[in-house]
Amino acid sequence: MGLFDFFKKKQETPESQEALNKGLEKTKEGFFAKITKAVVGKSTIDDDVLDNLEEVLVTSDVGVTTTLKIVDRIQKRVAEDKYVTTDDLNRLLKDEIQGLLAENNSNDFENFEYGNRKPYVIMVVGVNGVGKTTTIGKLAHQLKEAGNKVVLGAADTFRAAAVDQIQLWGDRVGVRVVAQPMGSDPASVAFDTVKSAVANGDDVAIIDTAGRLHNKVGLMNELTKIKNVMQKVIPDAPHEILLVLDASTGQNAIEQATQFTQATDVNALALTKLDGTAKGGVVIGISDQFKIPVKYIGVGEKIGDLQLFNKKDFVDSLFQ
């Protein structure tokens, strides 16, 4: 079974759908309570309702730029249809959010051609506290469950607990970990990891990196050095630069995405802790603003609660 087949199978299970629905509960409760308040006493979608809707979306962390796009689209549809009731607002909103996401970043993860490269190298970036290490552990577990040989590289050598955490996850899910003492050169760890992955015939190498959001020049230099040494072993590595963001930080997650996308070639996003926040709208804003695929979302504490992000499933669940 290939990687996509595994994730597709997981995504279609009732358990994963239930976890998604449960993970978005706080966002849904806050979102629809605000929409209900926005249309109280109104029978049609007029300028007041649209102004209120704009406020609802912004305060749900969809972001100003994306909010204005959505409201503008709804305004045009209301003008075309002449008479649209407030009862239609949820349907229109769902349509436009789904349409916006569909336009943004090509296809969902199902078109990810994982099998073309071996080992497939994933470099994981993000600030401390966003759930980066947990995401790495859960991803390693799911890849292993799919029948892949996985190795983890503990290249966050600046934080005392980082190497220990990666090694704990390696023990927990039964995958190898390449590590050096704290304070070692991160690039050296990354080099050792990919070299080991090639020698061992591993399918996937996942490299952790330091979670410090220091100045952009320092961050860029560090990540560039890690990439360069890996390319001495695998010329096109890393194949994926996965930025992990904490959805519960709302607009701060967007700022982090801005910093990291300027510092390195991020081509995949993971949004964690959706189950613990009412700010799930940030998924919509980030997807729209950065045009980078959201590949994974964290919807719970369980090891299987890192899910493949599917735009349609996400919006369907949000409006369920």
d(CA 54, CA 299): 26
Q: Which of 77, 74, 80 shows the shortest CA–CA distance to 62?
A: 74
Residue positions forming the annotated binding site for GTP: 126-133, 208-212, 272-275
How does pLDDT run across 236-278, given as a tens digit for each residue?
A: 999 999 999 998 888 889 889 998 998 889 999 999 998 887 7
| The two three-digit tokens of residue 311, written as one number | 């735009």
Show Cβ contacts of residue 90 under 8 Å, excluding neighbours closer than 6 positions.
32, 35, 319
| The two three-digit tokens of residue 161, written as one number | 């607990």
d(CA 76, CA 215): 42
Residue positions forming the annotated binding site: 126-133, 208-212, 272-275
Helix, strand, or coil here: 143?
helix
Orientation angle between helical segments 25-39 and 311-318, nearest 10 degrees: 60
Show Cβ contacts of residue 237 under 8 Å, excluding neighbours closer than 6 positions.
121, 194, 227, 230, 231
Question: pLDDT category, 169, cuts 50, 70, 90?
Answer: very high
Q: Degrees (nearest 5) of the Cα angle 29, 33, 38?
A: 150
How does pLDDT run across 63-105, given as a tens digit for each residue?
A: 899 999 999 999 998 888 766 777 888 888 989 988 888 876 5
